[in-house]
Structure 1
Amino acid sequence: MDTTSFVVLVVATIAAGLLAGLFYAYSCSVMPGLGRGDDRTFVEGMRGINVAIVNGWFLLSFLGAPLLSGVALLLHLGAGPELWWLVAAFACLLAMLVITRVVHIPMNDALDAGGDDYAEVRARFETSWVRWNVLRTVVSVAGFGCLVTALASR
């Protein structure tokens, strides 16, 4: 493995780990914490989070993890056992992007446009968003694990 392919794999792994940790934190602390609040607190809290998370640091890992895992995959074509771990990592991280784009972004947009009937807005949002986030967390953690295994396989 040359230096470039190694560095790309390491940076992809770090980005994927940050992303998996973020979604894990939502699953085990952010959403349960917001869930303890009243409807207005929940809705306004999520609205604030949805605005705050769209920043360069988040986008660097959110887009960087799948992009860099794809680059790492291309750089390792014809390589040893790490190749299949890279295929799996890329597939998992691509699934994370699809889940976010197809499910979470539209739900976040609907939450933002939902008006001030906080009970109704929350009822349409919370359970489904949390369930899909668990899946997004699982595929993100799996993608990270596959990248770690690819590093260990070299």
Structure 2
Amino acid sequence: MSHEQTSRTAFPPTAVSAGQSARDRLTGVLLGAAALAMGLMAGLFFAFDISVMPGLAKTDDRTYATAMQNFNSVIDGSGPFVLVFVGALAVTAWAAFRAFRKGQRAMGQWLLAAALCYTAVLALTMGINIPLNNKLADLGHPGPATDYSVIEDFKGTWETANIFRTLLCLTALGGIVRALLLHGRATATGTAS
């Protein structure tokens, strides 16, 4: 019996292709989840950039402070938000790890770039946006407050940081979409492993 016949007997083609197909499906699911989570985060930040913050800028400081306190308390207590906020990095990094492990260097590089962009989003959030949110929360109920100087930080620093979060999320999403295209091509030609 030749070596080729032995390998065919030991590993029937259907078993190998079924295992490969399951791995490809998992990669596809991870890439789809990463794109969905990153798209949701980009959309959330973008909505603040183009509607929420410009709309609030047309109000008085008390209304601005009250609205932002309400937005922050709703988002902070939202399980779905936390899941997507953390999940965007987790699934992107997992997909990158799998791509590198499977020798799919080009796909892995796009996913790694996406994960790094989103890591910068987290750094901006933790370093700028959340501390400003906390300062606004320390204001207490805006009704009796007399010092609204924190609002100027929102109109400047917080909004600028949010624009960068949007751009970074969109860049990350572009990297994930590119990885999805590479995965689709590899799967279609049967070179995915």
TM-score, normalised to structure 1's length? Answer: 0.94
Q: 2:108 aligns with which of 58, 80, 83?
A: 83
Q: Which of 49, 54, 76 is the equivalent residue of 1:27?
A: 49
Structure 2 equivalent of residue 48 of structure 1:
70
5+ residue gaps, structure 1: none
Counterpart-to-counterpart distance in 2, 1:21 and 1:124: 23
- Residue 100 of structure 1 aligns with which residue? 125
Letter in 2 for 1:109: N
CA distance in 2, matches of 1:8, 1:151: 10
Q: Which residue of 2 aligns with 1:11?
A: 33
Which ranges in structure 2 are unaligned for 5 or more consecutive residues?
1-22, 184-193
Which one has more relative contact order, counting CA pairs under 8 Å at least 6 apart?
1
C-alpha displacement of 1:122: 1.1
How far, CA to CA, are the matches of 1:18 and 1:124 in structure 2? 26
**Deviation of 1:68 (Å):** 0.7
The equivalent residue for 1:71 is 94
Indicate whether 1:120 and 2:149 are aligned.
Answer: yes
Residues 94-147 of structure 1: CA distance to partner in whole angstroms, max 9, x if unpaired?
111111011111110011103512532312332110011111111011111111
> Aligned partners of 2:90, 2:147: CA distance in 1, in Å?
37
CA contact (8 A) 1:35 1:42 kept: yes
How far, CA to CA, are the matches of 1:47 and 1:68 in structure 2?
Answer: 30
CA distance in 2 between counterparts of 1:138 and 1:10 reads 20
Structure 2-normalised TM-score? Answer: 0.76
Is 1:104–1:129's contact at 8 Å kept on the other side of the alignment?
yes
Give the Cα–Cα distance (whole angstroms) in 1 for the partners of residues 165 and 131 of structure 2.
Answer: 15
Aligned length, in residue pairs: 154
1:42 shift after superposition: 0.4
Which position in structure 1 is the counterpart of 2:187?
Answer: none
* Paired residues of 2:97 and 2:108 also in contact (CA < 8 A): no
Structure 2: how far apart are the matches of 1:126 and 1:111? 12
Of 112, 119, 133, the residue aligned with 2:162 is 133
| Residue 142 (str. 1) matches residue 171 (str. 2) | yes
Letter in 1 for 2:49: S
Q: Indicate conservation of the 8 Å contact 1:70/1:90, yes or no.
A: yes
